[in-house]
Amino acid sequence: MNITPVPSSSHEEIYCVEDTATGLHGYIAVHSTLMGPAAGGLRMRPYANAEDALTDVKRLSEGMTYKNAAAGLPLGGGKAVIIGDPSHDKTPELLQAFGEGINSLKGRYYTAEDMGMSPTDMAQLAKVTPCVAGLPTGDYASGDPSPITARGIFNAIRTTQKHHCGSAELEGITVAVQGLGNVGWHLCDLLNMAGASLIITDTDAKRVAKAVTVFGAQAVEPDQIYTVEADIFAPCAIGGILNATTIPLLKVAIVAGGANNQLATPQDATALHDRGILYAPDFVANGGGIINVATEILEISDRTAFVDEKLAALDLTLQAILRQAKAENTSPDAVAIATVQAKMARPAA
């Protein structure tokens, strides 16, 4: 395994991690350790090239700095990516080689699951580094974070709906969900139980068929999800899907979902605001997962109490952000970023 620094003016540290024997090529980005050791998940995707992977890890790790600060966690922002198709290229040896790369940062970065990773994969990393959470078993093991991520998004949907129309009731509301993976599926389950109607899409036809059967959802093709008439759009797949092409197409009042980096550019938050679409900032809406992961990193013995308390506080933070954005006639994203930057300016508070 070779780990080499990648020069950066925006991040504290970035490394390229390679291993010829296992075909590993990935990156670790530590955006900020101001609030504590950097924490954020490991993503495996068949990126088109190294530049795409590097761009993704830089954006995602910066998002983790904001997400962890918004959630009130004593953790900084970091993220890791591996270039490859998780269904073909992921081997125990490759994961362990990447784990050695994480270990060489000596506790400055903690990883966990993100897209393309599972608790079992985290157990492979744990064979070579203690800087891994989201494990299936062991002391403080927190397992798959996605059910708690979905709980946080569900709260954010209710809060945003209440801010928009005075009631958090979801019975009879239509939600368009993009992505039926770990997070999207759990979210659909919660929305279905709350009486919402679902319009769903995924690039995986089997997941779509299952959601139609289980939730009585209406399925649409992946590129149609931006044009459906619904009350709420919940992106739960990839980033960059709120952009100059898609925002003009949306026929929803609210965007609130779990995907990281939903906005292609910061200007897209303004574009949503100008269209009168209320946006729940992704790094606030999807903080549930890292809250759950944090119980393992911070060795919290009463996970349930910690998660409940932090999720409730995150919901209050979102309420305050939405109120301030309304008062200032600006986008909630701009207020959310200012809110976390203020928290980071006084880290001991």
- Tell me the binding residues for NAD(+): 179-184
Tell me how far CA of residue 110 lies from CA of 84, 105, 269, 307, in angstroms.
21, 9, 30, 19
Out of 124, 146, 159, 295, the only residue in the binding site for ligand NAD (CB under 6 A) is: 146
Which residues in the 225-244 window bind ligand NAD by CB under 6 A? 236-239
Active-site positions read 79
By DSSP bridging, strand 197-201 and strand 174-178 are parallel
Of 40, 77, 101, 179, the one binding ligand NAD (CB under 6 A) is: 179
Report the distance separating Cα 234 and Cα 184, nearest Å.
Answer: 8
Residue 21 beta carbon to ligand NAD: minimum distance, rounded to whole angstroms = 27
- Decide if residue 183 touches ligand NAD (CB under 6 A): yes
327: CB partners within 8 A, 6+ apart: none
DSSP of 291-331, one letter per residue? HHHHHHHTT-S-HHHHHHHHHHHHHHHHHHHHHHHHHHTS-
Q: Does 145 bind ligand NAD (CB under 6 A)?
A: yes
Q: Site for ligand NAD (CB under 6 A): which residue of 201, 246, 295, 339? A: 201
User: Please, what is the end-to-end C-alpha distance for the chain in angstroms?
Assistant: 40
Q: Residue 44: is it exposed, middle or buried by C-beta count within 10 angstroms (0-12/13-18/19+)? A: buried
User: What DSSP element (H or E) covers 77?
Assistant: strand 76-83
Exactly one of 29, 38, 173, 180 binds ligand NAD (CB under 6 A); that residue is: 180
Q: Name the minimum Å distance from CB 87 to ligand NAD.
A: 11
Residue 251: helix, strand or coil by DSSP? strand
Site string for ligand NAD, 101-130 (x = CB under 6 A): ------------xxxx--------------
Q: Which of 171, 177, 164 is nearest to 193 (CA)?
A: 171
Binders in 148-167 for ligand NAD, by CB under 6 A: 149
| Footprint (CB under 6 A) of ligand NAD, residues 245-304 | 258-260, 286, 289
User: Which one among 23, 92, 222, 240 touches ligand NAD, defined by CB under 6 A?
Assistant: 222
Which chain residues interact with ligand NAD by CB under 6 A?
113-116, 145-146, 149, 178-184, 201-204, 207, 222, 236-239, 258-260, 286, 289
